Copies of this chain bind each other. A is one copy, B any other.
């Protein structure tokens, strides 16, 4: 088994250092189960869908190995690249000869499809003439696909050490660099993604022109010229103002957050303050005004876009799975830059809720859209005509271990809790090995065992999640002095092998309100426990109860039940509430105020499950925000 380290590049403006892919391994528990299902069921299902959907055939046709018409979306190639990125990470996690073979066969196909000049995009190769290439980049997604090819190539190189896919990507980038740039085609891509990919390629290869090209694409954006069919304005493309002047997240949510991720990557290399300032303004706009309680991003179906501030409808909320992933990517970079826990908090919220809802328990069906209220039904599909989300889920799950820990000078930071092993070099303290054990997110007790202690004093920085108000830490069974700073508990001192640090993050069910401007949550609460947002699913309620018709007693004592038999293991919550008597509303949509204000109600019990687990027992209603009695 080859487990290559990641690139040895250290970004100069990183407060926290990311670790090689193989430094952290998730060894058991909640996420191990998700990763195992992803590595087996999802990846093989995904490969079959690449065949079914024509994505692989498109490349075969472009390669001249097959005749026929292009099928699917104009950016269908990106499905292949995202799957390849996921599969490459999976090799690090759980190498397999058959997966390697599948990866190699797909790379063969890409190699065969690539033109002599480096260009590759099956849609354009099949349907258009060479002179048509890059002429409609605002909507034809050639650079977007290139970005995913690069990301796959970097992942494949890091995972296997093989330069094969990396060379293909580099040849395409050389071609792009030949076409785009100052004095050449001066245009930003309509759909972002290539910016962050080019910075990664720079890190992997050390070639500075890739970084320059990333910067060029970031700089080109904001000329207020991009427009699309009928209602698509420059805001949709984040093209309204130059990126350094923007103070909001706007337009198509995935594009917006891939762009900010690329800006963050650029900052990590250049340290340009204006980029960071713009990002911090945008981050506040996102988290103070436009983020769902699930971490979901994007309020509008129409253009898959952010809405106005506080426009966070529960029913028609979009919350595309890809946008949740993009938010995790962006917050991960902001965490590296700043070392501040608030970014890890957003990652946690998104990971356990708005991201994880995107995939079924069996790993073979996916939500594109993740609403917070479903009145009728909303079901995960095996694949989509626009299949951006499923392989995006796969690449995040396969590479999830990267988000758990970072290091810096004489310090290890633990951001996310999972049963995992860390083995790596801590700058100034040498080789350290830690075993982390936890039943997170079902309970908040985390045990860290030092199995290799490094040398001298070093700090262990443990994130206390924002939701936790009573964190406790003990060292070898004894209370220990720890400082609390910026959302982290810090334990200092020399460590010895066998040291056991026990962190307790009590998970008391809690009720959360939204800002009064959020209409969908007005007069309502969400129930949360630990990192999990809960929801009501119709299947768990008494038959007579309609989810639209319930109120929650905010003084209810919620009963938590660990249920190994349900939903592959879960913790359910039950509490007291009411069902409204709707008799006065028979055939009435609007009534005078005084007639309807004294609505009678009947007591009921309400049964909650974690939001991310909903929709795994057939179709039916679901609801997160519950009016309070």
Contacts and interface: CB of A to CB of B under 8 A. Distances in A.
Given A301-B301, A310-B375, A593 B515 contact: no
B548 A310 contact: yes
A588 B515 CA distance: 7
A450 interface: no
A513 B590 contact: yes
List the 10 closest pairs (A to B, CB-CB), nearest first. Answer: A511-B593, A301-B302, A523-B523, A308-B375, A517-B548, A302-B302, A513-B596, A512-B590, A515-B585, A513-B593
B385 A230 contact: yes
A215 interface: no
Interface string A305-316: 001111101111
Nearest to A311: B315
Nearest to A384: B230
A599 B516 contact: yes
A373 B385 CA distance: 34
B300 A316 contact: yes
Nearest to A291: B589
Interface stretch (A109-117, A203-211, A239-247, A282-290): A282-290
A522 interface: yes
A177 to B, nearest CB: 33
Contacts of A376: 308
A76 to B, nearest CB: 13
A587 interface: yes
Contacts of A300: 301-302, 316
A483 B590 CA distance: 26
Given A311-B375, A316-B316, A512-B592, A517 B587 contact: no
A580 interface: yes
Interface string A519-550: 11011111000000000000000000000110
Interface in A584-615: 585, 587-594, 596-597, 599
A266 to B, nearest CB: 26
A514 interface: yes
Interface in A485-532: 510-520, 522-526
Contacts of A510: 592-593
B585 A516 contact: yes
Contacts of A524: 522
Contacts of A523: 522-523
Most buried by B among A373, A518, A592, A597: A592
A289 B592 CA distance: 17
A299 B301 CA distance: 12
Nearest to A512: B590
A480 interface: no
A627 interface: yes
A554 interface: yes
15 contacts: A289-B589, A293-B590, A299-B316, A301-B302, A316-B316, A373-B519, A511-B593, A513-B593, A513-B597, A515-B588, A516-B582, A516-B599, A522-B524, A523-B523, A525-B593
A274 interface: no
Contacts of A385: 230
A545 to B, nearest CB: 14
Contacts of A291: 589
A386 interface: yes
A284 B301 CA distance: 27
Contact of A589 (B230, B288, B299, B593): B288
Nearest to A517: B548
A287 B589 contact: yes
Nearest to A511: B593
Contacts of A591: 512-513
Contacts of A293: 590
Contacts of A519: 313-315, 373, 519-520, 522
A514 B548 CA distance: 14
A588 B289 CA distance: 8
